[in-house]
Amino acid sequence: MHKLRHLSIMLLAMTVIGLSCSSNTNKENQQQSQEKSGSGQKPKPKNVILMIGDGMGVSQIYAGMTVSSNPLVFEQFKNIGLQKTYSKDNYITDSGASNTALATGEKTANGHIAMSPSGDTLTTILEMAEQHGYATGLVSTSSILHATPAAFIAHNKDRHEYASLAEDFLKTDVDVFIGGGYNQFANRDDNRNLVKELEGKGYQVLRDIQDIEEVEKGKLAGLTADKHNPKYTEGRGNMLPRSTQTALDILDNNAKGFFLMVEGSQIDWGGHANDTDYIVNELLDFNRAVEKALAFAKAHENTLLIVTADHETGGMALTGGDREAGQLKANYGTDGHTGVMVPVFAYGPGSEKFRGIYENTAVFDKMQAYYGFDQ
């Protein structure tokens, strides 16, 4: 008995030594020096890409990893943390409150869009970036007026006031937005034609992803669906990775830098439907968009890439699977959101600050500190 324990302690010690050696690979050293780049100085802030998988918890990500025959991009990140999603008035957040927290650094009541519980307007990171001369953009697979993108640009106590949320887009100088929601701009009860107004402000208003993809500069409003875009498997195709690439290319024209938010909206809807195939297809689509963003961040120094979620949806539990066959069995605890922490993956200068466990509002704080807007 005693001998055996001694042996197992020795084995443990050997394992620890082995681990510390293997973690010190050349590749990792390379990445570390890359992430501290700027010849020893504090990296000059330039671009932030914030990617939000709506409803994307660890189960949704591992579901994608199980089904995919190739490794997902998530596995390339070294700086990983967890954030708490509860809202000001509820243990279970909605997308209005959680995205307000990510966008403004303030917890608010469920249903609110960049507005405090009492109705004060909360300035968003996108608005701050614009004020400081950065280019800005939003990309989404839902309507561009849905809670996630809206929380970065609009202000309302009711996330469902879509007509009003659309008007708020005109109050900004956002450079690029691509998503659904055309009807709220074009066919309105108040007889305003926001498409005409956007064109008056210099936007190219385009509806087809092929046309959108050809835009290389200037202001772009890509309204790819009347309301929401369809599911990936029902005709949306690669709209999200293509729109992400287009937005990055346009925003990169601004020498000072940019802020871009990209949302994989429908991971959440698959969760609400307790539909495993829906979740996995949307997750893999989001993964391809993250691949585009990570490639951009690797090619463009001083780009901070953050990939996270606003909350988990469905209480998804992976109860069985076959990694070889790419098969999966899942159960669900709810058709709503859950209160569980969600992961944060970060790459680039300042990405090590995203390690640990923190509030969802800290994601905003860290972006603000990266840009230096907090000084």
Residues 6+ apart with CB under 8 A from 318: 59, 62, 63, 66, 328, 329, 330
Instruction: Closer to Zn ion by CB, 177 or 269: give it.
Output: 269
Size of the site for Mg ion (CB under 5 A): 4
Residue 312 within binding range of Mg ion, rule CB under 5 A? no
Q: Please report how close the Cβ of residue 154 comes to Zn ion at its closest, in angstroms.
A: 18
Asked whether position 313 contacts Mg ion by CB under 5 A, the answer is: no
* Shortest distance (Å) from residue 141 CB to Zn ion: 13
> 322 - beta bridge partners?
327
Residues 6+ apart with CB under 8 A from 336: 92, 272, 313
Tell me the backbone φ, ψ of residue 80, rounded to 5 degrees.
-130, 140
Residue 285 found at the interface with Zn ion (CB under 5 A): no
Provide the minimum distance between the beta carbon of 211 and Mg ion in the complex, in angstroms, as a whole number: 25
Crossing angle for the helix pair 95-104 and 361-371, nearest 10 degrees? 30
> In 272-292, which positions are buried (b, 16+ CB within 10 angstroms) versus exposed (e)?
bbbbbebbbbbbbbbbbbbbb
47 contact choice in Mg ion, Zn ion, none (CB below 5 to 8 Å, kind-dependent): none
100: partner contacted, choices Zn ion, Mg ion, none (Cβ within 5-8 A by kind):
none
140 is catalytic: no
| β-strands 312-313, 356-359 pairing | unpaired
Of 69-77, 216-224, 236-244, 258-266, the segment contacting Mg ion by CB under 5 A is 258-266
Provide, rounded to whole angstroms, the least separation between the CB of residue 155 and Zn ion: 21
Asked if 94 is part of the footprint of Mg ion (rule: CB under 5 A), the reply reads no
The separation between CA 25 and the C-alpha centre of its own chain, rounded to angstroms, equals: 30
Taking only Cα atoms into account, the Rg of the chain, rounded to an integer number of angstroms, comes to 21
Stretch that binds Mg ion, among 197-205, 224-232, 262-270, 331-339 (CB under 5 A): 262-270
Of 59, 87, 95, 142, the active-site residue reads 95
Q: Does 282 bind Zn ion (CB under 5 A)?
A: no
Residue 124 binds what, of Zn ion, Mg ion, none (CB under 5 to 8 Å, by partner type)?
Answer: none
Partner from Zn ion, Mg ion, none contacting 265, C-beta within 5 to 8 A by type: Mg ion
Question: Is 268 an interacting residue with respect to Zn ion (CB under 5 A)?
Answer: yes
Q: Which of 109, 92, 93, 201 is nearest to 156 (CA)?
A: 109
User: Which residues carry out catalysis?
Assistant: 95
By CB under 5 A, name the binding residues for Zn ion.
Answer: 268
By CB under 5 A, name the binding residues for Mg ion.
Answer: 54, 95, 148, 265
